[in-house]
């Protein structure tokens, strides 16, 4: 054997490996019957993993023959899962269904690029269109079709406060932004940090900003930020940015070093009086043994009463999913009253349906459900419901500068140029 | 040495797989990143429409990226300097046949066995301004209002918050630098130092005129190894500080990760990684050329 032939042989042998693997894969594909269901999520923490397991149990009871594969990808608040998902979807090996933030989170990333099947019929066939609020249907729809089924609703515009701190200083929780500044001034003078705010993950200040934008703009103009009808550098938006910057005078000194849960803990310990954070904080407080209504109270972020900033976890049906029938059954379970009432009390969120069994929910969740049924519902920016991820991560960068530089003109101009780039 | 044709065949057979794999998975992917970096790819679906240097121009205009580059420069400079100085001093002290040498050597080298993630988490807690070392300082009566990595202060282009990262990274790698200096010190023939001493040189002169020049190649390797770590720094930052106040502790690696995997802006993300590759190449390639020349000389 000459040297050249050896080299050629070596290279050829190596090149064969991937092809033989592919051939084997194709063979399997042909004789497949639908017997499995692979679900990709990033739910790994206590309550959420259990909630998913309970929901899967509901599915198993109805379809005992289907082998459900729970593929959880841990880490990075879902960014690891999204990375795995992206490579599988683009590589043509999608999972059967996956957890994704409803709204722009799925539409901008997956729907516009034609990776998903519409699933409007799941709601229509079961006559469920009426049990989901119209605002929610609008948020999860794209060009008249629904592409993912919401399993839960979290609320973003909640202000959590330490009841003991307010009583000790003879103060009432602020109802409006003007009252917020009065109360904050008095708390500051008394040596209590008025507002706990996190920052390690880059989105926490954006979370506060979305509440302030809503408070200053109202729900219609707030929605307009995402479709280009409200200017980011208009006078109302500038007023909101200015209020946001003023609020930063009252935040925790180590803002950039703490997470949103650390901030909630500062409030629990009484180091800080209030924090604006999503209602997963309620689950955290329960877990550390606090009593709702006694140790901590809640209310809509001052100035946002009557409005509900929502984020939602949803499941969809990718094109080329190996077991589409099983996925449709899964989505039906997800959308069903039984499914939602099984999942949400454990997860600590409220159902996306408005006809839930109220006996299963605790005092905070019931109050959130009442607001959800009544309020104007708008999508959350910081959690991927209002703006697609590219836009959202760029907004987070602008906010990071805004928090330190407090330069609202520059921020408004940057926000506007991002809107020009991303509004379709 | 290759003596027969048979040996040659074996040699080629042995290296072929690694050459093939490296050319696909290293160089092939570098070319792929290069191609992505000049494409319009944004969103999940690959889009290789050629857009020239648009991503790069966008990148260098971004304030965040400019901060990242300065942070990288300062971090690299101070991290390498700290490791070299501390590492050399430790090696020099241990080399004086002190008692319990093995214990000290192990203790100082130990942090290297940890991953940057562990180091990052530990130092994040230690330097947390509300419940970290500040409490110890306060109890000892020292000033205790240090912001550490939450401090947004800048001195010129230098973010004070970087010192926390430099501290943590140096803690981890000073021991490694010590180990290679120790090996270098042991390889200096004792006669050389002895004769310098006979000629009346003081200890300091011996260090400056004899020891340090003989350790020059060790220093060079240390700089290259530490330099490529600091230019690519990512895990330590992610575990310890995140982007920091006003991107005080942001680095291109973090920016690249966020742009690509949370922002789905693949074109820009690839451009960042190419810039990082060029930075590392700027120190590695001259070093490789230098080493290669030395080898051919011998």
Question: Per-residue pLDDT averaged across A246-263, rounded?
Answer: 92
Under 8 Å between Cβ of A321 and A94: yes
User: A116-117 and A313-318: which strand pairing?
Assistant: antiparallel
**Residue whose pair of structure tokens reads 């051919």 in the numeric block:** B296
Confidence of residue A22 (pLDDT cuts 50, 70, 90): very low
Looking at residue A23, what is its pLDDT? Answer: 44
Residue of A208, A187, A191, A190 lying closest to A199 (CA atoms)? A208
Under 8 Å between Cβ of A116 and B47: no
The radius of gyration computed from the CA coordinates of chain A, to the nearest angstrom, equals 24
Higher pLDDT among residues B5 and B74, named by residue: B74
Looking at residue B298, what is its pLDDT? Answer: 63
* A346 vs A343: CA distance, rounded Å: 6
List every span in chain A annotated with CATH 3.40.190.10. Answer: 35-154+310-379, 156-305+382-422
Chain B residues whose beta carbon lies within 8 Å of the beta carbon of residue A115? 44-45
Residue of B251, B227, B225 lying closest to B238 (CA atoms)? B251
Residue B180 has pLDDT above 80, yes or no: yes
What is the token pair recorded at B244? 């920091």
How far is B122 from chain A, CA to nearest CA, in Å? 14
What is the token pair recorded at A167? 């009583």
Confidence of residue A18 (pLDDT cuts 50, 70, 90): very low
pLDDT tens, position by position, A85-143:
888 998 899 999 999 999 998 999 999 999 999 999 999 999 999 999 999 999 999 99
Which of A176-180, A198-202, A288-292 is predicted least confidently?
A198-202
Considering chain B, what percentage of its residues have pLDDT values greater than 90? 66
CB pairs under 8 A between A and B: 110
pLDDT tens, position by position, B189-234:
989 988 998 998 888 898 888 899 999 989 999 999 999 999 999 9
Looking at residue A73, what is its pLDDT? Answer: 87
pLDDT tens, position by position, B69-96:
999 999 999 999 999 999 999 999 998 8
The torsion of the CA quartet B100, B104, B109, B110, rounded to 10 degrees, works out to 90
CA-nearest residue of chain B to A111?
B44
How far is B136 from chain A, CA to nearest CA, in Å? 18
Looking at residue B1, what is its pLDDT? Answer: 55
Chain A residues whose beta carbon lies within 8 Å of the beta carbon of residue B243? 202, 256, 400
The alpha carbon dihedral of A401, A403, A405, A411 has a sign of positive
Residue A19 has pLDDT above 50, yes or no: no
Confidence of residue B156 (pLDDT cuts 50, 70, 90): confident
Three-state SS for B205?
A: helix
* B80 vs A396: CA distance, rounded Å: 32
The strand pairing partners of A318, in sequence order, are A116
How far is B265 from chain A, CA to nearest CA, in Å? 6
Question: Per-residue pLDDT averaged across B8-19, rounded?
Answer: 92
What is the complex's ipTM, to 2 decimals?
0.86
Which of A269-273, A280-284, A304-308, B97-101 is predicted least confidently?
B97-101
The torsion of the CA quartet B159, B160, B164, B165, rounded to 10 degrees, works out to 20
Which of A77-81, A367-371, B37-41, B81-85 is predicted least confidently?
A77-81
**CATH class of the domain defined by A156-305+382-422:** alpha beta
Chain B residues whose beta carbon lies within 8 Å of the beta carbon of residue A83? 261
Chain A residues whose beta carbon lies within 8 Å of the beta carbon of residue B129? 253-254, 257
Question: Per-residue pLDDT averaged across B161-176, rounded?
Answer: 96
Looking at residue B53, what is its pLDDT? Answer: 96
Residue A3 has pLDDT above 60, yes or no: no
* A405 vs B68: CA distance, rounded Å: 17
**Residue whose pair of structure tokens reads 């981890």 in the numeric block:** B172
How far is A93 from chain B, CA to nearest CA, in Å? 14
Which of A147-156, B61-70, B91-100 is predicted least confidently?
B91-100
Residue of B61, B217, B13, B117 lying closest to A13 (CA atoms)? B13
Question: How much is the mean pLDDT over chain B?
Answer: 92
Alpha helices in chain B (DSSP H): 5-22, 29-37, 54-61, 63-94, 101-109, 116-126, 133-139, 162-186, 190-198, 203-205, 212-214, 216-231, 235-240, 252-257, 266-297
CATH topology of domain A35-154+310-379: D-Maltodextrin-Binding Protein; domain 2 (3.40.190)
Residue A11 has pLDDT above 70, yes or no: no
Residue B64 has pLDDT above 90, yes or no: yes
Distances (CA, A) of B273 to A229, A359, B270, B276: 36, 53, 5, 5
Task: Collect all residues from A whose CB is shorter than 8 A from any CB in B.
Answer: 1, 3, 6-7, 10-11, 14, 79, 82-83, 86, 89-90, 108-110, 112-115, 199-202, 253-257, 388-390, 392-394, 397, 400-401, 403-405
Higher pLDDT among residues A400 and A87, named by residue: A400
Confidence of residue A403 (pLDDT cuts 50, 70, 90): very high
* A385 vs A311: CA distance, rounded Å: 6
Three-state SS for A302?
A: coil
Considering chain B, what percentage of its residues have pLDDT values greater than 70? 99
What is the token pair recorded at A250? 């009252």
Under 8 Å between Cβ of A384 and A105: yes
* B126 vs A327: CA distance, rounded Å: 48
Q: What's the CATH code, domain B69-250?
A: 1.10.3720.10
CA geometry: angle A312, A317, A321, nearest 5 deg: 145
* A78 vs A94: CA distance, rounded Å: 17
> Cα-flanking dihedrals φ and ψ of residue A421, to 5°?
-75, -35
pLDDT tens, position by position, A189-222:
999 999 999 988 889 999 999 999 999 999 999 9
């Amino acid at each position: 054997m000459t040297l050249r032939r050896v080299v050629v042989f070596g290279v050829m042998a190596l090149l064969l490996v991937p092809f033989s693997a592919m051939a084997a894969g194709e063979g399997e594909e042909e004789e497949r019957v639908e017997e499995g269901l692979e679900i990709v999520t990033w739910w790994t923490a206590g309550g959420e993993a259990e909630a998913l397991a309970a929901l899967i149990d509901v599915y198993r009871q109805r379809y005992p023959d289907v082998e459900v594969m729970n593929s959880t990808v841990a880490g990075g608040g879902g960014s690891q899962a999204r990375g795995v998902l992206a490579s599988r979807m683009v590589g043509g090996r999608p999972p059967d269904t996956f957890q994704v933030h409803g709204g722009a989170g799925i539409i901008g990333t997956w729907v516009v690029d034609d990776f998903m099947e519409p699933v409007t019929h799941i709601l229509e066939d079961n006559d469920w269109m009426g049990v989901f609020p119209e605002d929610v249907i609008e948020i999860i729809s794209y060009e008249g079709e629904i592409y993912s089924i919401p399993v839960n609703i979290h609320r973003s515009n909640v202000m959590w406060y330490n009841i003991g701190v307010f009583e000790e200083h003879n103060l009432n929780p602020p109802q409006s932004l003007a009252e917020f500044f009065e109360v904050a001034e008095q708390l500051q003078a008394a040596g209590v940090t008025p507002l706990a705010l996190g920052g390690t993950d880059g989105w926490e200040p954006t979370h506060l900003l979305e509440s302030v934008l809503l408070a200053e703009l109202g729900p219609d103009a707030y929605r307009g930020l995402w479709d280009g009808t409200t200017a980011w550098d208009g006078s109302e938006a500038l007023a909101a940015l200015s209020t946001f910057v003023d609020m930063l005078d009252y935040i925790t000194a180590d803002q950039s070093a703490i997470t949103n849960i650390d901030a909630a803990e500062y409030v629990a310990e009484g180091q800080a009086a209030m924090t604006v954070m999503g209602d997963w904080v309620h689950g955290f407080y329960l877990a550390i043994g606090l009593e709702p209504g006694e140790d901590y109270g809640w209310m809509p972020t001052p100035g946002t009463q009557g409005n509900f900033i929502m984020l939602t976890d949803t499941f969809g049906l990718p094109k080329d999913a190996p077991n589409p029938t099983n996925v449709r059954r899964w989505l039906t379970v997800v959308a069903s009253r039984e499914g939602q009432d099984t999942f949400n009390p454990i997860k600590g969120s409220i159902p996306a349906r408005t006809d839930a069994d109220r006996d299963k929910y605790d005092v905070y969740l019931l109050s959130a459900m009442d607001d959800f049924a009544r309020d104007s519902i708008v999508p959350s920016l910081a959690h991927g419901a209002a703006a697609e991820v590219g836009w959202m991560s760029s907004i987070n960068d602008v906010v990071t500068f805004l928090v330190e530089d407090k330069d609202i003109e520059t921020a408004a101009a940057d926000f506007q140029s991002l809107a020009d780039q991303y509004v379709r | 040495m290759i003596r027969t044709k048979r040996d040659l065949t074996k040699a080629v057979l042995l290296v072929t797989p690694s050459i093939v794999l490296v050319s696909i998975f290293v160089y092939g992917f570098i070319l792929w990143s290069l191609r992505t970096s000049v494409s319009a790819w944004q969103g999940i679906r690959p889009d290789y429409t050629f857009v020239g240097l648009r991503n790069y121009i966008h990148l260098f205009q971004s304030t965040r990226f400019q901060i990242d580059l300065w942070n990288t420069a300062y971090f690299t400079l101070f991290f390498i300097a700290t490791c070299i100085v501390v590492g050399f001093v430790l090696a020099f002290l241990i080399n004086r046949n002190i008692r319990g040498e093995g214990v000290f050597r192990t203790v100082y080298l130990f942090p290297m066995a940890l991953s940057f993630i562990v180091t990052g988490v530990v130092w994040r807690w230690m330097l947390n301004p509300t419940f970290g070392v500040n409490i110890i300082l306060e109890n000892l009566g020292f000033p205790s209002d240090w912001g550490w990595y939450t401090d947004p202060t800048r001195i010129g282009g230098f973010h004070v918050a970087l010192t926390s990262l430099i501290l943590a990274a140096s803690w981890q790698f000073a021991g490694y630098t010590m180990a290679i200096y120790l090996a270098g010190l042991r390889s200096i023939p004792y006669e050389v130092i002895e004769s310098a001493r006979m000629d009346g040189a003081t200890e300091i002169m011996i260090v400056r005129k004899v020891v340090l020049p003989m350790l020059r190649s060790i220093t060079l390797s240390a700089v290259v190894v530490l330099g490529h770590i600091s230019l690519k720094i990512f895990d330590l930052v992610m575990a310890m500080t995140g982007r920091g106040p006003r991107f005080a502790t942001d680095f291109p690696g973090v920016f690249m990760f966020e742009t690509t995997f949370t922002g789905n802006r693949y074109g820009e993300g690839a451009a960042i990684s190419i810039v990082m590759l060029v930075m590392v190449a700027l120190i590695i390639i001259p070093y490789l050329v230098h080493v290669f020349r030395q080898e051919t000389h011998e």
